[in-house]
Amino acid sequence: MKKIVLLLCLLTTSVFFAQERNCSSMENLEYRMQQDPELKQRMESIESFTQQRVQQYQTNRVDGNIITIPVVVHVLYKTAAENISVAQIQSQIDVLNEDFRRTNSDANNTWSQAADTQIEFCLTTIDPSGNATTGITRKSTTKTSWGTNDAMKKSSQGGVDPWDTSKYLNFWVCNIGGGILGYAQFPGGSASTDGVVNSPQYFGRTGTATAPFDLGRTATHEVGHFLNLRHIWGDGGCGVDDFVSDTPLSDASNGGCATTHTSCGTLDMVQNYMDYSDDSCMNLFTQGQKSRMRSVLDAGGSRRSLALSDKCGSVVVTPTCSDGIQNGDETGVDCGGSSCAPCQTACTDNEITISITFDNYPEETSWTLVNDSGTSIASGTYSKSNADGSTVSETLCLPNDCYTFTIKDTYGDGICCSYGNGSYSITGPDGSIKSGGSFGSSEATNFCFSNTPVPTCTDGIQNGDETGVDCGGPSCSPCQAACIDTTLKIKFDNYPEETSWNLKDNSGTVVASGGTYGSQADGSTLTINNCLPAGCYTLEFKDSYGDGICCSYGNGNYTLTNTATGATLASGASFTSTDTNNFCIANTRTDSTREIKTLNTELSLSIFPNPVTGNELNVITDNDDKSTYRIVNTLGQVLMNGELNDIKSTINVSRLSSGVYFIVVKNNTSNSTKQFIKK
């Protein structure tokens, strides 16, 4: 029996280095755990489910069911070499299919436990809006390297937001820097950062792919992590394992192709994709690794929605520059490539606008902008061709630095107010930097930009000494608890000794139970309190005699409520042997719920139909004041938002998959939250 030790450095991401190839730092893990306090608990739950499912697979063969996962590749490039070709991207998809199906040409019989995982991949042909796509997006950037803080996954930081991670495996191909080949997020992490990142020179097996990592095995390795595989050596010594029974113990990673290396008394499996060997040395996953990967894709698994995704379907659309999608060789939506107008590059630094309204002598006016080292950034010189009193403006994108703006008048009377009412202004990301008009020969203004925000309890990010987003620490209100208090009240019939119950989470694990109650008085009431993590549960009440707890021999009943809100989650009384209730609870602390806590009155809110069986949710409020709404899932993630402009409004919820959601509606004076189910 192998010893199972879950190394913390594997709980969030795996970082694959070109040289030292070590696990990501503990500081990085600690930071991620602070960002998401529930991450560890979710991953432990996933591991418990995986272990149970793997045991089932030991007696039931895992075959006969090919799972195809849709892939979207987001290419972020500064240089032409980083803007890799379609052929190079397709070669990586081919490698994934060969490696996961064991059709790779270098497969051999060295290890008898080598397996076809029956997992395949396709470049998606359908984008999140249902339109045709190549499965590839491209974005020009000014960044030379991205690091491993997931900036490439966020449009707000110059990257690309992921497509729906429940339906697509997102790849970001960009220069990570620091000799890093790639990294992946394990199951259980945030949907906003889920996927795999690869440096372009280690992606695919053609084009810019660079030896000895030029056969696409970096992506194979990282997708293994994405599907819940650990490193082959367990990231520890001989007493630490990778949770897989048919991979030999090893004391460390292997580089190159050390096929004769022995550790822990056995030959190391250096050809396994989850070691650190050269690409040409790797050639297999094992049957045990197959079972782990299939577990997260199987019914109840954390990546089940990917296995059911239909985004590999075929949609054929002739590309145009006005169809609202990025297709053909476009580098953006309806822009770039050989046929469309060039794309406008968004400013990812600090955008400023310099605006000048002339007096009656524009030809006397000029300006310069230099950075802290004296380098000229931009300038303007004008002539009689500029009309008296007219206005010119220029928008610039400036990196973090200090700058000096100097405006000059050759006559020495400024641009106001002797000969016309001229003026100038400099406006930055946070408003006005400088404005004026009355000066002599020149006027200079100094200003600086920095990425370091001043922490507040309302800026929507975790900074300063906060322990969560806008919460915790000495300055902000305490963060909401990671679990929700519930109260179970049982009123027994005349036979408490026949009554028992259990509460199971979404993976089928019993998290609470009670009974039978032979010591409880007939007709008495028992109250039981539990604190449950956000998620979905099954409450099962049993009567050993088979006549429930009402009404043949006493009027018994039970009720499970949310302690804080009083909402009923489950209830029952009259049944035979078993009574089953399914329910979901959510920790809905989001930006929208934080906003409405400052409002004192309850908004009258009705929604129908509930459950929603089609694509329309009708919302009725008690007044026609303009309101806003947000729809959040059971993890508190905002999925939709918008405005309600009438007493009755209809929201199209076709983008929501089946599940439990909350709608938060607020206006200037009141608010309300309702739960609904989308079928």
What is the pTM (predicted TM-score) of this model? 0.49
Average pLDDT score over residue span 372-393: 87
- Of residues 679 and 134, the one with the higher pLDDT is 134
Nearest to 11 by CA among 70, 26, 295: 26
User: Long-range contacts: 435-443, Cβ < 8 Å, 24+?
Assistant: 438/414, 439/407, 439/409, 439/414, 440/409, 440/412, 440/413, 440/414, 441/408, 441/409, 441/410, 441/412, 442/406, 442/407, 442/408, 442/409, 443/406, 443/407, 443/414
Q: 350-448 with 483-585: one CATH topology?
A: yes
- Out of 153-157, 339-343, 380-384, pick the least confident: 339-343
- Residue 4's pLDDT band (boundaries 50, 70, 90)? very low
- The answer on pLDDT for 496 being more than 70 is yes
Q: Is 222 a catalytic residue?
A: yes
- Residue 305: phi, psi to the nearest 5? -60, -30
Amino acid letter at 155?
S
Average pLDDT score over residue span 175-180: 86
- Of residues 149 and 667, the one with the higher pLDDT is 149
- The answer on pLDDT for 159 being more than 70 is yes
- The answer on pLDDT for 75 being more than 70 is yes
- Out of 143-152, 222-231, 265-274, pick the least confident: 143-152
- Residue 489's pLDDT band (boundaries 50, 70, 90)? very high
Average pLDDT score over residue span 583-598: 42
CB atoms within 10 A of CB 665: 23
Length of the chain: 679
Dist. CA 459–CA 429, nearest whole Å: 15
Q: What is the Cα 619 distance to its own chain's centre?
A: 29
Q: Which CATH class is domain 591-678?
A: mainly beta
Q: What is the Cα 12 distance to its own chain's centre?
A: 12
- The answer on pLDDT for 570 being more than 90 is no
Dist. CA 385–CA 35, nearest whole Å: 57
Instruction: Tell me the domain boundaries of the chain.
Output: 8-308, 317-342, 350-448, 483-585, 591-678
41-to-11, 229, 462, 535 alpha-carbon distances in Å: 10, 18, 20, 12
Nearest to 251 by CA among 232, 238, 269, 235: 238
Dist. CA 255–CA 281, nearest whole Å: 9
- The answer on pLDDT for 480 being more than 80 is no
Average pLDDT score over residue span 615-631: 78
Out of 1.10.8, 2.60.60, 1.10.3470, 1.20.120, the CATH code matching 350-448 is 2.60.60
Encoded tokens for 642: 């918008």
- Residue 14's pLDDT band (boundaries 50, 70, 90)? low
Amino acid letter at 426?
I
Helix axes 287-297, 39-57, angle to 10 degrees: 120
Which helix (H) or strand (E) segment holds residue 92: the answer is helix 86-101
Dist. CA 248–CA 67, nearest whole Å: 27
- Residue 605's pLDDT band (boundaries 50, 70, 90)? confident
Compute the Cα dihedral for 163, 62, 119, 308 and give only its sign. Answer: negative
Q: Which CATH class is domain 8-308?
A: alpha beta
User: Long-range contacts: 217-220, Cβ < 8 Å, 24+?
Assistant: 217/95, 217/99, 217/273, 217/279, 217/282, 218/16, 218/181, 218/182, 218/279, 219/92, 219/95, 219/96, 219/171, 219/182, 220/95, 220/96, 220/99, 220/100, 220/273, 220/282
**What per-residue confidence (pLDDT) applies to 637?**
62
Q: Quick check: 330 and 337 in contact, CB under 8 A?
A: yes
| Annotated active-site residue in 38, 47, 82, 222 | 222
Secondary structure letter of residue 205 according to DSSP? S
Q: Quick check: 173 and 93 in contact, CB under 8 A?
A: no
Q: What is the largest CA-CA distance in the chain?
A: 105
Domain 483-585 sits in CATH at 2.60.60
**What per-residue confidence (pLDDT) applies to 597?**
27
Which helix (H) or strand (E) segment holds residue 665: the answer is strand 659-666
Average pLDDT score over residue span 176-190: 88
Dist. CA 305–CA 296, nearest whole Å: 10
**What per-residue confidence (pLDDT) applies to 177?**
86
Q: Quick check: 364 and 393 in contact, CB under 8 A?
A: no
Helix, coil or strand: residue 425: strand
